[in-house]
Structure 1
Amino acid sequence: MEPFVTDVLTHTETAPAPTTESAGHAIVRTLEEHGIPRAYVVPGESYLEVLDGLHASSIETIVTRQEGGAAYMAEAEGKLTDLPGIVMVTRGPGAANALVGIHTAWQDSTPVVLFIGLIPRDHRQREAFQEFDIQGWFEKGAKRVFVLDSPERASEITAEALFAARSGRPGPVVVGLPEDLIRERVDVRAIPPIPVATGGVARSDAHALTEALARAEKPLFVTGGSDWTPESSQLLTGWLERQGIAAAAEWRTEGVVSSDSPSYVGPIGYGRPKPTYDLFAETDLVVFIGTVPGDVLTSYIARQGWHLNNFIVSMDSLMRGRSGAVSHQILSKPAAFVRDLVALDIAPRPDWARWTARMREQQLDFAALPVPGTTGPARMDTLMAHLVPLLDDDALVTLGAGEHTNWAHRYFPVRRYPAMVSAGNGSMGYSVPSAVAASLDFPDRQIITIAGDGEFLMNGQELATARQYGATPLIVVMDNAEYGTIRTHQERFHPDRVSGTQLINPDFAAMSTAFGGWGVRIDDESQVAQGVADAIAATKDGRFALIHLIVEQRVQAY
């Protein structure tokens, strides 16, 4: 044992830095050195050594109530920040519950690293307690699947996982941690972060894009994904406005171009009415940045046929998820593309601005707040009419999946990136966990989540996590006592034969109060204005709040 070292200036004795640590502690230290702020966990005996490493670390440990909620929180954090979201769960059942968040991260190209505790190595191939095949479960739905088989590589594999999650097309990475291995001692050594290539606009790309814009009369830029920065968002918005070029947002990724911008012409996706059809019927050049034209978008415009004149800006050379033909790909992340785009010598054309102004006018008409009702059954239109004027300029909305999201896409102002976080794969149960993560990431911003009654109860228990860690979102639960999206499809294919979609719900406002928040139950238009104002006041007082809005049961439309 080394003797204590005496500081000659203060004459105080300090212990020498340790030269070894457990592999589990090495994982935590590497996460710290990469700047990871927090980890979302459901504890398990299979990774106790990692939990012990978190005990005195700078990483905040967010203990959640179910692995699906933990995975959704990490996935939302991967969208909201420039680092991968971190989730830690135990083997078998824990891994199974977390899989839903991994699928979301895969389809939304979100950087997430899932650490899973595994059975001891000498228990393998015996169908031991909670044993499962980590490769078989995850290798088709994750970018990489690592199993730590050498304690000396604990830090290296952690650094590699963080890199893999962010590089190229971002996505989920899974790391298996054998229970016995992570207790073994290893030498302390630093594994620095691996730099991520960002690509950019090559000379040939610049020439092709410049020529295409010179020929175009009605160019349209479509932003998507979550691999953006606030700076690149602002830079692109300014450039589009100077050029007079229109910009639309991919479904559930609004906010790259502010909804206040004269270039913004609306979101594209399910629930979008005539203006979207007009955009794709008339444009003669489409530039997709950070996304590819997937089936939601291309099937939505099938009536007009697909545009052969389009540019795809993506770091995924395979352009996975693409539907339809492509005329040119630029291998670049959004920020690098925008950096190079604004340096190009492109002269604006008056016809660009005229077309953009016409499309913008349609969007403004569509997004104009409705006249609130004063009597009768409560409506989402009235709630949005009262909620939107009370929002801060940098308010952020999170969404799960269902028809309740349509009102946010139509009315919610998205002014400062990131402004909207949702699950592009249509995953239900995302609303509350994503709102908790957003509130922890941005404690000074106003966080709103809009949930349906069916969707809310899939992860509503994470209100306990909100209470434990001081998250203060406002949760709106639209209660029509049914799975509304499926009911809509049902009415289309099997009218008047309601089957498998009806619900009986609890008092969600009372549930919110029981979890330590504030809640109000609203079933009449006359109650909406005061209920919304009181709910926002509760969040500003440091509590999460929930509005239980009971609406008429019918096939919802707007």
Structure 2
Amino acid sequence: MNNQHAGQAIVDSLALHGVERVFVVPGESYLAVLDGLYESPIEAVVCRHEGGAAYMAEAHGKFAGKPGVAMVTRGPGAANAFVALHTAWQDAVPLVLFVGLVPVADRMRESFQEFDPYAWFGTQCKRVMVLDEAERASEVVAEAFFAAGSGRPGPVVVGLPEDVITRTVSSALYPPLPVSEGALSPEDLEAVRAVLGEARRPLLFVGGQRWTPEAVTGLTRFAEQNGIPVVQDWRAADRVPFDSPVNCGPLGYGRTDASLAMFEEADVLLAVGALPTDVTTDGFTARQGHDRINILVNIDTGLRGRSGAVTRHLIASPVAFAEAVADLQLGREQSWDVWRAGGRAAQQALSTVPAPEALPPTCPGTVHMGAVMGELVKRLPDDAVFTFGAGNHCVWAQRYLPTRTFPSQLSTRNGSMGYSVPAAVAASLANPERLCVVVSGDGDFLMNGQEIATAVQYGAAMLILVMDNGRYGTICLHQEAQFPGRASGTRLANPDFAALCRAYGGHGETLVANEEAAGAIERALRAVTERRLPALIHAVTDPRHDLP
């Protein structure tokens, strides 16, 4: 590399790290990087809002297991992207956000769109880096990717002063830094064998990041061969297949009473990737005794977010753990049959869509989401990908959509809305052969639904279900619990979502009766699979039946 500007060095370094696409909202503060993308093999996906672009990068990090990349401008652009940083921080997702900055000479002068990246992002990122020396451009990229992906993954912000990235550099590209998976020592493996060998009610608790399809397969085989029941972390339902005989359901919001009871009653908890955090412990109330046997397999040396006792901490990723236990036979599978059976039966009951005749009646001009889910589930391929954001609509997706392949569930653990459509754009571009299904609420959809325009522009096909109950449903439930009959600040007046999708160039239909669901889903799926379009089904629902 000779006589190129630092912006080109950044792009070349991204290519060296295997980056295939970046999600951008352009700005004059990083023109040199945009220039570097001009003839690059890296696809620049131009988005309609910085929040959408950064959500796409976060979703790519979940879907691919490698840092997603977003690029935004200074000030307002950086502020809009902050929501995805918080999501990546709480979900432990690798993300690198490049932010254009004011010229070095303009710092500390209240110049146009100036802000302090360290002050803004320092508490919600693994690292905040500012490129002040052009010759270190490639090195900074390598450091950012290493920080984002190593240990407990998370977001990294790289600030790019607009004058620095225009300077000529001649240094060679800095090679990628290897990320360790950790390992189980012979002593660690023997400790796992010994404690499980004596257990009466063992339980695997799985979730978090740093998984691969191979790790999921290995962990599932270990659990099934030994008959150990598995509960999965909130919004991590694809770590053990939906139909596995050891799958006893999720913890967190929307869980069964049986899964929480197993979590509490297990005499040995073996957590792989997951940690007993706020949501999974019902607000730091479940499994809090210091006499509990909890073995935590986690690559994070700090165990950030965990609660309760820690009997042993094995510093390993799910990949390393699955490899270590591949041949571990305990010979006790039958002794745990009864313990496992109750949780499995509860999960099967939870995930079975009610028959149409069992659904309660709804107001005229509305459809029951159970009817929509029933018609959708019977038409899904085994490798479908599901995305959803935050709200009551998520419970329908969590409960009924079958996660049979990893990765197949992309959502947020920080309750952040507006995620569903951008996440589907990222997943569809990363693997266009897989059907992408979005489940969104009316509130969630309108926070980033404009990214359907991005989907159309780049050929990202998806089926979008919008559950329109005319309100922020989750908050209404809280209001009814605390201030009955006094709903305030939660009502919504919605547009015709189907017409909106058609205006963007997609396919749109409106559902107002249960008997319409089958035909609408058939037509929408044809638009997605045959015409490669986003297809939206606007389901007008009865607020009395927000939840299954």
TM-score range, shorter chain: over 0.9
Instruction: Choose which of 404, 407, 413 in structure 1 pairs with 2:393.
Output: 404
Matching residue of 1:116: 99
Instruction: Choose which of 540, 548, 558 in structure 1 pairs with 2:538.
Output: 548
Rg larger for: 1
Instruction: Choose which of 517, 520, 533 in structure 1 pairs with 2:509.
Output: 520
Contact 1:159 1:193 in 2 (8 A): yes
Contact 2:388 2:419 in 1 (8 A): yes
Q: For the aligned residues, what is the CA RMSD?
A: 1.5
Shift of 1:305: 5.4
Instruction: State the alpha-carbon separation in 1 of the partners of residues 474 and 329 from structure 2.
Output: 47
Matching residue of 1:557: 547
Matching residue of 1:217: 200
Matching residue of 1:311: 295
Instruction: State the alpha-carbon separation in 2 of the partners of residues 335 and 348 from structure 1.
Output: 24
Letter in 2 for 1:298: T
Matching residue of 1:296: 279
Shift of 1:349: 3.6
Instruction: Choose which of 55, 58, 67 in structure 2 pairs with 1:75.
Output: 58
Contact 2:71 2:97 in 1 (8 A): yes
Shift of 1:452: 0.4
Shift of 1:549: 0.3
Matching residue of 1:509: 498
Letter in 1 for 2:226: Q
Instruction: Choose which of 263, 280, 287 in structure 2 pairs with 1:280.
Output: 263
Structure 1: segments with no counterpart, 5+ residues: 1-17
Instruction: State the alpha-carbon separation in 1 of the partners of residues 283 and 332 from structure 2.
Output: 30
Letter in 2 for 1:322: R
Instruction: State the alpha-carbon separation in 2 of the partners of residues 128 and 301 from structure 1.
Output: 45
**2:472 paired with 1:488:** no
**2:347 paired with 1:356:** no
Instruction: State the alpha-carbon separation in 1 of the partners of residues 284 and 46 from structure 2.
Output: 44
Number of residue equivalences:
541
Matching residue of 1:370: 354
Shift of 1:535: 1.1
Normalised to the residue count of structure 2, the TM-score between the two structures is 0.96
**Aligned partner of residue 302 in structure 1, secondary structure:** coil
Shift of 1:302: 3.1
Instruction: State the alpha-carbon separation in 1 of the partners of residues 26 and 236 from structure 2.
Output: 32
**2:256 paired with 1:249:** no
Matching residue of 2:127: 144
**Aligned partner of residue 86 in structure 1, secondary structure:** strand
Letter in 2 for 1:354: V
Instruction: State the alpha-carbon separation in 1 of the partners of residues 286 and 330 from structure 2.
Output: 32
**Aligned partner of residue 505 in structure 2, secondary structure:** coil
**2:306 paired with 1:322:** yes
Instruction: State the alpha-carbon separation in 1 of the partners of residues 195 and 458 from structure 2.
Output: 51
Normalised to the residue count of structure 1, the TM-score between the two structures is 0.95
Instruction: State the alpha-carbon separation in 2 of the partners of residues 332 and 437 from structure 1.
Output: 28
Shift of 1:188: 4.0
Greater displacement, 373-382 / 472-481: 373-382
Identity in percent: 49
Contact 2:223 2:229 in 1 (8 A): yes
Contact 1:487 1:555 in 2 (8 A): no
Instruction: Choose which of 458, 461, 471 in structure 1 pairs with 2:450.
Output: 461
Contact 2:249 2:256 in 1 (8 A): no
**2:156 paired with 1:167:** no
Contact 1:201 1:341 in 2 (8 A): no
**Aligned partner of residue 378 in structure 2, secondary structure:** helix
Contact 2:284 2:307 in 1 (8 A): no
Matching residue of 2:172: 189
Instruction: State the alpha-carbon separation in 2 of the partners of residues 52 and 304 from structure 1.
Output: 54
Shift of 1:555: 6.4
Aligned pairs (5 A) from 1:407-422: 407-422=396-411
**Aligned partner of residue 456 in structure 1, secondary structure:** helix
Aligned pairs (5 A) from 1:3-82: 19-82=2-65
Matching residue of 2:181: 198
Contact 2:472 2:492 in 1 (8 A): yes
Letter in 1 for 2:405: R
Shift of 1:273: 2.8
Contact 1:20 1:188 in 2 (8 A): no
Instruction: Choose which of 392, 399, 410 in structure 1 pairs with 2:381.
Output: 392
Instruction: State the alpha-carbon separation in 2 of the partners of residues 348 and 49 from structure 1.
Output: 62
Structure 2: segments with no counterpart, 5+ residues: none
Shift of 1:353: 3.0
